[in-house]
Amino acid sequence: EVQLVESGGGFVQPGGSLRLSCEASEINLYYYELDWVRQTPARGLEWVARMWGHGNQKYYVDSVWGRFSVSSDKTRNSVDLQMDSLRVEDTSVYYCRVWVREHRRDYWGPGTLVTVSS
């Protein structure tokens, strides 16, 4: 079965950086759109970024524009989320997610917690 696993979360001070990675098994991410979604109890769910596996198209929510960037690593079959200039409001659980049309379902990782605090 398709599995996604995020890694790279942790604690960082405001202004710092983290790099999240989403590795996939049983699916080649090159052929799919990979999404990063974050969630907090206070702000709910927020779609952060989308990237086509081939890398030609990328979208970011305004609140992370210019600070976050997504990229793919074909050798690891992963999509990374580089997060720079982190803010307290970026504190969240970050999920990666892929919609597999031929399965008529999506797959999510278990999530990784990012905490930005001084």
Partner 1 sequence: EVVMMQSPVTLSVSPGERVTLSCRASQSVGNNMDWYQQKPGQPPRLLIYTASNRATGFPARFSGSGSGTEFTLTIDSLQSDDLAVYFCLQFNEWPFTFGQGTKLEIK
Q: Nearest approach, Cβ of 11 to partner 1 (angstroms)?
A: 21
Please identify, using beta-carbon distances, which residue of 32 and 95 lies nearer to partner 1. 95
Q: Nearest approach, Cβ of 99 to partner 1 (angstroms)?
A: 7
Q: Nearest approach, Cβ of 63 to partner 1 (angstroms)?
A: 9
Please identify, using beta-carbon distances, which residue of 62 and 118 lies nearer to partner 1. 62
Please identify, using beta-carbon distances, which residue of 29 and 49 lies nearer to partner 1. 49
CB pairs under 8 A, 24+ apart, for 64-67? Answer: 64/90
Q: Nearest approach, Cβ of 91 to partner 1 (angstroms)?
A: 18
Contact positions vs partner 1 (CB under 8 A): 37, 44-47, 50, 59, 61-62, 95, 97, 99, 103-106, 108-111
Q: Tell me, what DSSP letter sits at residue 7?
A: E
Q: Based on the number of CB atoms within 10 Å of its own CB, is 20 exposed (0-12), middle (13-18) or buried (19 or more)?
A: buried
Q: Give the Å distances, CA to CA, from 42 to 39, 45, 77, 93, 97.
A: 9, 9, 33, 12, 21
Please identify, using beta-carbon distances, which residue of 45 and 88 lies nearer to partner 1. 45
- 52 has which bridge partners? 33
Residue (of 74, 73, 97) closest to 82 by Cα position: 73
